[in-house]
Amino acid sequence: MKKIIIPLGLSLMLCMLAGSRSKNPDKASPWPEITKETKPWTRWWWLGSAVDKENITSLMEEYAKAGFGGVEITLIYGVKGCEDQYLEFLSPAWMDMLNTCVLEAEHVVMGVDMNLGTGWPIGGPQITPEHAASRLILQKYEISGNESLEAKIIPEDPRQVELGVNLEALMAYSEDGKSLDLTGRVGEDGTLDWIPEKGMWNLYAAFCGKTRQRVKRAAPGGEGYTMDHLSETALGTYLERFDQAFTTPTGVRSFFNDSYEVYNASWSPGFLEEFSERRGYDLSKYLKHLAGEGDTNEIARVKSDYRQTMSEMLLEHFTVPWTEWSHKHQSLTRNQAHGSPGNLIDLYAAVDIPECEIFGHRTFDIPGLPVNDDDSRNVEPNPMMLKLATSAAHIMNKPLISNETFTWLAEQMNNGWPGALPD
């Protein structure tokens, strides 16, 4: 009987509500209007882009009936055995599938977002080592008076040498507080043409190295190096491929950028020039402080200026121009700024749809709610993480705020719907 009573009760409630609305047609509903923006959206994994028009149409209709307001197309690696069905990212055949998805979304009153690449972070075959994510490599040498330096001023990691890593600066510091810029005294092969007259000297070499990170979980046509997010030139090179594919408006609501996972990216070609223009002094003269040696107060000041410069470059060379590019294509930007080496409020505020992510698994005292002891993080989510995206939206009066939900709950296939309820 219990199984019968519950739906009857719900039916009665719906009838009562319907009757109430018919008696008071002019009374405003306490609920906001239901639109595709107020419904949940879902990430739609296109494994290897092995998709076809028939299934896209069928699934979009199914998603609409289930109550979804839209989909975010994200491409990752394909399924083994289905290689003959893979479509190369941004190829004419792939664009045809995207167009089918957008048209069907319009038909069922849904929206379509897409990742600004495949897998994550942003990168691909158009990103050469020149425009790949970079890192600062600092190496220290010691040299005595009247002696030449036997070691070559080149990166110790041979993989960096193979990528053509450049020397940015070489500074020498004496025991009595003197400093010399020796950058111009280094030959093409790394030989130092300088011998100190006396005393002990510490040399600090700064190289513009490469992280060598490649796109994680890339789909066919999206494999390659991760992009340098501090370089607008690198961004322009990356987006050229999209400009060639998107000759007309795509109908995509927004382009999505996943959380900043550009590991060890701490530099960019031209960083020294950017630093000098923004901070008003030459960072190369303070390499030892950047390496954490010297007066503690100066170290703190130099590192603070370095981090502020990095923050501004990420905002002005990636986030802002990417949003401007999206607007030219009649689309919005949706960005997960967390993890970025910058002011998160500024980065969230610069895009159209700030998006956060829930890290951890919250448990509620709900009778019958299973507690998953296999929680992959075993921590509760930090509410302050969620406030950053919403705060930026409120500051800039942005109507849309998004959140990546049901993440970090447990390992794959180990979490059911009841375990997702607290999110």
pLDDT tens for the chain, 423 residues long, are 333 332 333 332 223 233 334 445 567 778 888 999 999 999 999 999 999 999 999 999 999 999 999 999 999 999 999 999 999 999 999 999 999 999 999 999 999 999 999 999 999 999 999 999 999 999 999 999 999 999 999 999 999 999 989 999 999 999 999 999 999 999 999 999 999 999 999 999 999 999 999 999 999 999 999 999 999 999 999 999 999 999 998 999 999 999 999 999 999 999 999 999 999 999 999 999 999 999 999 999 999 999 999 999 999 999 999 999 999 999 999 999 999 999 999 999 999 999 998 776 666 666 766 666 655 556 677 788 889 999 999 999 999 999 998 876 666 666 667 667 666
Cβ proximity of 74 and 46 under 8 Å: yes
**Structure-token pair, residue 320:** 């802002």
pLDDT given at position 29: 78
pLDDT given at position 381: 72
Spatial separation of the C-alpha atoms in residues 16 and 22, rounded to whole Å:
10
Q: Which residues fall within 8 angstroms of residue 148, CB to CB, at 6 or more apart?
A: 192, 195
Nearest CA to 335 among 356, 314, 320?
A: 356
Pairing of strands 70-76, 111-118: parallel
Residue whose token pair is 């038909």: 107
| Cβ neighbours, 10 Å, residue 385 | 16
Spatial separation of the C-alpha atoms in residues 300 and 296, rounded to whole Å:
6
Would you give the DSSP letter of residue 218? P
Helix (H/G/I), strand (E/B), else coil: 132: strand
Give residue 350's Cα distance to chain centre.
14
Spatial separation of the C-alpha atoms in residues 279 and 282, rounded to whole Å:
8
Spatial separation of the C-alpha atoms in residues 268 and 131, rounded to whole Å:
9
Spatial separation of the C-alpha atoms in residues 57 and 15, rounded to whole Å:
34
CA 223-226-232 angle, to 5 degrees, is 125
Cα four-point dihedral sign 376, 377, 381, 384 = negative
Q: Please state whether the peptide bond connecting residue 121 to the residue before it is cis, i.e. omega within 30 degrees of 0.
A: yes
CA 374-378-382 angle, to 5 degrees, is 145
Cβ proximity of 218 and 77 under 8 Å: yes
